[in-house]
Homo-oligomer: A and B are copies of this chain.
Amino acid sequence: MTGFSDICLSRMRRVSTATLTTQMFKLGLRSRFMRGVRPLGSYGANLVGPAFTLRNIPAREDLDVMEGFANPEHPQRKAVETIPAGHILVVDCRGEAAAASGGEILMTRMLKRGVAGMVSDGGIRDSAAIAQLAMPVYCAGPAAPLNLVAHHATSLQVPIGCGGVAVYPGDLIVGDADGVVVVPAHMAEDIALNAEEQEQLEAWLLGRIQAGARLPGTYPPDAETRAAYKAFRESQGEA
Protein backbone atom coordinates (compact mmCIF):
# COMPACT_ATOMS: atom_id res chain seq x y z
CA MET A 1 0.00 0.00 0.00
CA THR A 2 2.78 2.42 0.87
CA GLY A 3 5.23 1.19 -1.74
CA PHE A 4 7.71 0.11 0.94
CA SER A 5 8.24 -3.36 2.39
CA ASP A 6 6.95 -4.11 5.87
CA ILE A 7 10.49 -4.78 7.04
CA CYS A 8 11.62 -1.39 5.74
CA LEU A 9 8.81 0.39 7.55
CA SER A 10 9.36 -1.50 10.75
CA ARG A 11 13.09 -0.78 10.67
CA MET A 12 12.33 2.88 10.10
CA ARG A 13 10.11 2.86 13.19
CA ARG A 14 13.05 1.60 15.26
CA VAL A 15 15.96 3.75 14.05
CA SER A 16 16.57 7.41 14.83
CA THR A 17 16.55 10.36 12.48
CA ALA A 18 20.13 10.95 13.63
CA THR A 19 21.19 7.59 12.26
CA LEU A 20 19.32 8.23 9.03
CA THR A 21 21.20 11.49 8.43
CA THR A 22 24.45 9.56 8.84
CA GLN A 23 23.39 6.90 6.36
CA MET A 24 22.29 9.51 3.84
CA PHE A 25 25.51 11.47 4.37
CA LYS A 26 27.43 8.34 3.36
CA LEU A 27 25.43 8.39 0.11
CA GLY A 28 26.21 12.04 -0.57
CA LEU A 29 22.98 13.52 0.76
CA ARG A 30 23.88 16.22 3.24
CA SER A 31 20.66 18.13 3.81
CA ARG A 32 17.65 15.88 4.28
CA PHE A 33 16.70 17.19 7.72
CA MET A 34 13.92 19.76 7.95
CA ARG A 35 14.87 23.05 9.58
CA GLY A 36 12.55 24.36 12.25
CA VAL A 37 10.04 21.49 12.21
CA ARG A 38 9.31 20.01 15.64
CA PRO A 39 6.91 17.45 17.09
CA LEU A 40 3.82 19.12 18.56
CA GLY A 41 3.32 16.39 21.17
CA SER A 42 5.34 13.64 22.81
CA TYR A 43 5.05 10.60 20.60
CA GLY A 44 6.22 7.21 21.80
CA ALA A 45 7.13 5.94 18.35
CA ASN A 46 8.62 7.30 15.16
CA LEU A 47 6.45 8.93 12.55
CA VAL A 48 6.93 6.75 9.44
CA GLY A 49 5.19 6.78 6.08
CA PRO A 50 5.29 7.92 2.47
CA ALA A 51 4.81 11.62 1.73
CA PHE A 52 1.55 12.89 0.29
CA THR A 53 2.25 16.51 -0.59
CA LEU A 54 0.24 19.73 -0.45
CA ARG A 55 1.64 22.92 -1.89
CA ASN A 56 0.77 26.45 -0.77
CA ILE A 57 1.73 29.80 -2.26
CA PRO A 58 1.20 33.19 -0.61
CA ALA A 59 -2.43 34.27 -0.17
CA ARG A 60 -4.09 37.02 -2.19
CA GLU A 61 -6.81 38.95 -0.39
CA ASP A 62 -9.46 38.68 -3.13
CA LEU A 63 -8.94 34.97 -3.78
CA ASP A 64 -8.38 33.56 -0.35
CA VAL A 65 -11.68 33.95 1.40
CA MET A 66 -13.79 31.75 3.68
CA GLU A 67 -16.15 30.73 0.89
CA GLY A 68 -13.40 28.78 -0.87
CA PHE A 69 -13.56 25.96 1.67
CA ALA A 70 -17.03 24.96 0.50
CA ASN A 71 -15.51 23.72 -2.74
CA PRO A 72 -14.75 19.99 -2.29
CA GLU A 73 -11.89 20.48 -4.76
CA HIS A 74 -10.17 22.96 -2.44
CA PRO A 75 -6.71 21.35 -2.31
CA GLN A 76 -6.31 21.46 1.47
CA ARG A 77 -9.66 19.80 2.06
CA LYS A 78 -9.18 17.39 -0.81
CA ALA A 79 -5.79 16.42 0.59
CA VAL A 80 -7.35 15.48 3.91
CA GLU A 81 -10.08 13.48 2.22
CA THR A 82 -7.93 11.64 -0.37
CA ILE A 83 -4.56 10.98 1.28
CA PRO A 84 -4.25 7.18 1.58
CA ALA A 85 -4.16 5.50 4.97
CA GLY A 86 -0.63 5.05 6.25
CA HIS A 87 0.63 8.10 4.37
CA ILE A 88 1.85 11.41 5.80
CA LEU A 89 0.54 14.77 4.70
CA VAL A 90 3.55 17.01 4.05
CA VAL A 91 2.69 20.68 3.61
CA ASP A 92 4.81 23.40 2.02
CA CYS A 93 4.14 26.62 3.97
CA ARG A 94 7.37 28.37 2.93
CA GLY A 95 8.42 28.31 6.59
CA GLU A 96 5.71 30.78 7.62
CA ALA A 97 5.35 30.04 11.34
CA ALA A 98 2.74 32.67 12.18
CA ALA A 99 -0.26 31.14 10.39
CA ALA A 100 -1.85 27.72 10.72
CA SER A 101 -1.71 24.96 8.14
CA GLY A 102 -4.45 22.97 9.83
CA GLY A 103 -6.59 22.58 12.91
CA GLU A 104 -8.41 20.05 15.06
CA ILE A 105 -11.21 19.08 12.69
CA LEU A 106 -8.88 18.36 9.76
CA MET A 107 -6.45 16.45 11.94
CA THR A 108 -9.27 14.42 13.43
CA ARG A 109 -10.57 13.56 9.98
CA MET A 110 -7.12 12.35 8.95
CA LEU A 111 -6.83 10.31 12.13
CA LYS A 112 -10.17 8.68 11.34
CA ARG A 113 -8.99 7.91 7.83
CA GLY A 114 -5.89 6.10 9.11
CA VAL A 115 -3.41 8.74 8.02
CA ALA A 116 0.00 8.20 9.64
CA GLY A 117 0.69 11.83 10.50
CA MET A 118 1.25 15.36 9.30
CA VAL A 119 4.38 17.44 8.71
CA SER A 120 4.28 21.17 7.95
CA ASP A 121 6.85 23.93 7.97
CA GLY A 122 4.05 26.27 8.97
CA GLY A 123 2.08 26.58 12.18
CA ILE A 124 -0.79 24.52 13.62
CA ARG A 125 -3.85 25.91 15.40
CA ASP A 126 -5.79 24.16 18.18
CA SER A 127 -2.36 22.92 19.14
CA ALA A 128 -3.23 21.78 22.65
CA ALA A 129 -5.97 19.47 21.40
CA ILE A 130 -3.94 18.20 18.45
CA ALA A 131 -0.93 17.42 20.63
CA GLN A 132 -3.16 14.88 22.41
CA LEU A 133 -4.35 13.12 19.23
CA ALA A 134 -3.18 9.58 18.44
CA MET A 135 -1.60 10.89 15.24
CA PRO A 136 1.79 12.61 15.30
CA VAL A 137 1.94 16.18 13.98
CA TYR A 138 5.20 18.01 13.28
CA CYS A 139 5.23 21.72 12.52
CA ALA A 140 6.91 25.08 13.09
CA GLY A 141 4.89 25.54 16.28
CA PRO A 142 1.46 26.64 17.44
CA ALA A 143 -0.18 29.50 15.53
CA ALA A 144 -3.78 30.59 15.83
CA PRO A 145 -4.44 32.41 12.50
CA LEU A 146 -6.35 30.51 9.85
CA ASN A 147 -4.36 29.53 6.77
CA LEU A 148 -6.13 32.12 4.58
CA VAL A 149 -4.14 34.98 6.09
CA ALA A 150 -0.95 33.59 4.56
CA HIS A 151 -1.61 30.65 2.26
CA HIS A 152 -3.33 29.66 -0.95
CA ALA A 153 -3.41 25.89 -1.44
CA THR A 154 -2.56 25.17 -5.08
CA SER A 155 -1.96 21.52 -5.70
CA LEU A 156 -1.53 17.99 -4.41
CA GLN A 157 1.14 15.41 -5.04
CA VAL A 158 3.67 17.70 -6.66
CA PRO A 159 7.30 17.98 -5.49
CA ILE A 160 7.58 20.59 -2.74
CA GLY A 161 10.04 22.15 -0.35
CA CYS A 162 9.34 21.69 3.36
CA GLY A 163 11.71 22.89 6.07
CA GLY A 164 14.25 23.60 3.33
CA VAL A 165 14.22 19.99 2.04
CA ALA A 166 12.97 18.75 -1.33
CA VAL A 167 10.06 16.35 -0.80
CA TYR A 168 8.79 14.23 -3.68
CA PRO A 169 5.47 12.42 -3.38
CA GLY A 170 6.23 8.96 -2.10
CA ASP A 171 9.48 9.86 -0.33
CA LEU A 172 9.71 8.12 3.01
CA ILE A 173 9.22 10.52 5.93
CA VAL A 174 10.65 9.65 9.33
CA GLY A 175 10.18 11.78 12.44
CA ASP A 176 11.30 11.43 16.05
CA ALA A 177 12.07 13.80 18.92
CA ASP A 178 14.99 15.33 16.97
CA GLY A 179 12.76 16.26 14.03
CA VAL A 180 12.00 15.03 10.52
CA VAL A 181 14.14 13.53 7.75
CA VAL A 182 13.10 12.82 4.17
CA VAL A 183 14.46 9.61 2.62
CA PRO A 184 14.32 9.40 -1.20
CA ALA A 185 11.95 6.58 -2.05
CA HIS A 186 14.36 4.51 -4.09
CA MET A 187 16.99 4.49 -1.36
CA ALA A 188 14.71 3.71 1.55
CA GLU A 189 15.01 -0.07 1.69
CA ASP A 190 18.83 -0.05 1.74
CA ILE A 191 19.00 2.88 4.12
CA ALA A 192 16.62 1.16 6.55
CA LEU A 193 18.78 -1.95 6.57
CA ASN A 194 22.03 -0.06 7.04
CA ALA A 195 20.54 2.22 9.66
CA GLU A 196 19.37 -0.72 11.71
CA GLU A 197 22.81 -2.31 11.52
CA GLN A 198 24.41 0.97 12.57
CA GLU A 199 22.07 1.25 15.52
CA GLN A 200 22.67 -2.32 16.66
CA LEU A 201 26.39 -1.67 16.61
CA GLU A 202 26.02 1.65 18.39
CA ALA A 203 23.78 0.17 21.08
CA TRP A 204 26.51 -2.34 21.79
CA LEU A 205 29.18 0.37 21.70
CA LEU A 206 27.10 2.49 24.07
CA GLY A 207 27.08 -0.43 26.47
CA ARG A 208 30.87 -0.47 26.37
CA ILE A 209 31.03 3.28 26.93
CA GLN A 210 28.62 2.92 29.87
CA ALA A 211 30.94 0.24 31.20
CA GLY A 212 33.84 2.68 31.08
CA ALA A 213 35.46 2.16 27.68
CA ARG A 214 37.44 5.06 26.23
CA LEU A 215 36.43 6.59 22.90
CA PRO A 216 39.64 5.69 21.03
CA GLY A 217 39.17 2.22 19.66
CA THR A 218 35.53 2.14 20.66
CA TYR A 219 33.83 4.98 18.82
CA PRO A 220 34.47 4.61 16.00
CA PRO A 221 35.37 0.95 16.60
CA ASP A 222 38.82 -0.26 15.65
CA ALA A 223 39.53 -3.76 14.32
CA GLU A 224 39.61 -5.26 17.78
CA THR A 225 36.30 -3.77 18.81
CA ARG A 226 34.75 -4.79 15.52
CA ALA A 227 35.93 -8.33 16.12
CA ALA A 228 34.45 -8.30 19.61
CA TYR A 229 31.18 -7.05 18.17
CA LYS A 230 31.24 -9.78 15.53
CA ALA A 231 31.76 -12.34 18.27
CA PHE A 232 28.90 -10.84 20.24
CA ARG A 233 26.62 -11.00 17.24
CA GLU A 234 27.58 -14.59 16.58
CA SER A 235 26.97 -15.45 20.20
CA GLN A 236 23.49 -14.06 19.70
CA GLY A 237 23.05 -16.33 16.71
CA GLU A 238 22.83 -13.33 14.39
CA ALA A 239 25.82 -13.80 12.13
Contacts and interface: CB of A to CB of B under 8 A. Distances in A.
Interface of A: 16-18, 20-22, 25-31, 33, 35-36, 38, 57-63, 66, 69-70, 72, 77, 80-81, 94, 97-98, 100, 103-106, 108-109, 112, 125-128, 141-146, 148-149, 152, 154-155, 158-161, 164-166, 176-179, 181, 184, 202, 205-206, 209-210, 212, 214-216, 219-220, 222
Given A94-B161, A105-B202, A152-B166, 14 more contacts: A17-B125, A21-B146, A25-B145, A30-B149, A31-B61, A33-B143, A58-B165, A60-B184, A94-B94, A105-B219, A112-B209, A125-B178, A127-B178, A143-B179
A128 B159 contact: no
Contacts of A98: 33, 35-36
A231 to B, nearest CB: 20
A155 B155 CA distance: 13
B166 A159 contact: no
A177 B130 CA distance: 11
Contacts of A72: 215-216
Task: Report how many copies the assembly holds.
Answer: 6
Nearest to A219: B105
The 4 A-B pairs of least Cβ separation, nearest first, read A18-B125, A128-B177, A17-B144, A144-B178
Given A21-B145, A25-B149, A152-B166, A69 B220 contact: yes
B61 A29 contact: yes
A22 B59 contact: no
Contacts of A20: 144
